[in-house]
Amino acid sequence: MSVSLLLENEESHRLLYRKVESSDFSSWLPFHEEPLSMQYFVGNIPNPKEACKAWFDKVFFRYEKDLGGHNALISKETGKLIGMCGLLIQTVDDKEELEIGYSILPEYWRNGYASEAAKQCRIYATKHQLSASLISIIHVDNIGSQKVAISNGMCLDKHTNYKGIPVQIYRRHIKNKPSI
């Protein structure tokens, strides 16, 4: 693609977006130490350090292969990492899709950061005409993430299995935009 799927140097009201760096590992580890944040993820790895390493390996693999990826979400107010969000190329039911994926560190839950970050991803993808539609892949029991998708203008599109887990696909169509 001619336009990057990464939102490097973008910003929203409270957040700055940059690439994830290896030095973010210790700041991101609490996400994997919180059982509630890990209960909905594919390939749930019980050891938090191993799970965090697998997460970072996947982020850097996506960067290397130009498959989009998570951006580090940095608080404008504190300069701290508060989450990750980004545009990710995914294959769902044998179809390539552009997903808005988001995860917030537990200490920042319920402050609207996921909705703010996901909305910025939608705005960026729409502005750069990256896809005819955007999806979010959400575990069927993850009500919080479903609310984020709905607040981002997405509607429940279908139920399916993704990498062995039951998920709902939330979708937002973008008029007159190309498929990825």
Write down the domain spans for the chain. Answer: 15-173
Residue 37, pLDDT score:
80
Question: Going by C-beta distance under 8 Å and a sequence separation of 6 or more, which residues neighbour residue 87?
Answer: 5, 6, 7, 68, 69, 98, 99, 100, 101, 121, 124, 125, 130, 134
Residue among 83, 89, 148, 156 nearest 119 (CA):
148
Phi, psi of 116 (to 5 degrees): -65, -45
Residue 35, pLDDT score:
85
Dihedral of alpha carbons 3, 9, 22, 149, sign: negative
Residue 17, pLDDT score:
97
Which residues in the chain come in under a pLDDT of 70? 1-2, 42-44, 176-180
Residue 46, pLDDT score:
77
Residue 14, pLDDT score:
98
Residue 3, pLDDT score:
74
Residue 164, pLDDT score:
87
- Domain 15-173: CATH architecture, name and number where available: 3-Layer(aba) Sandwich (3.40)
Residue 1, pLDDT score:
43
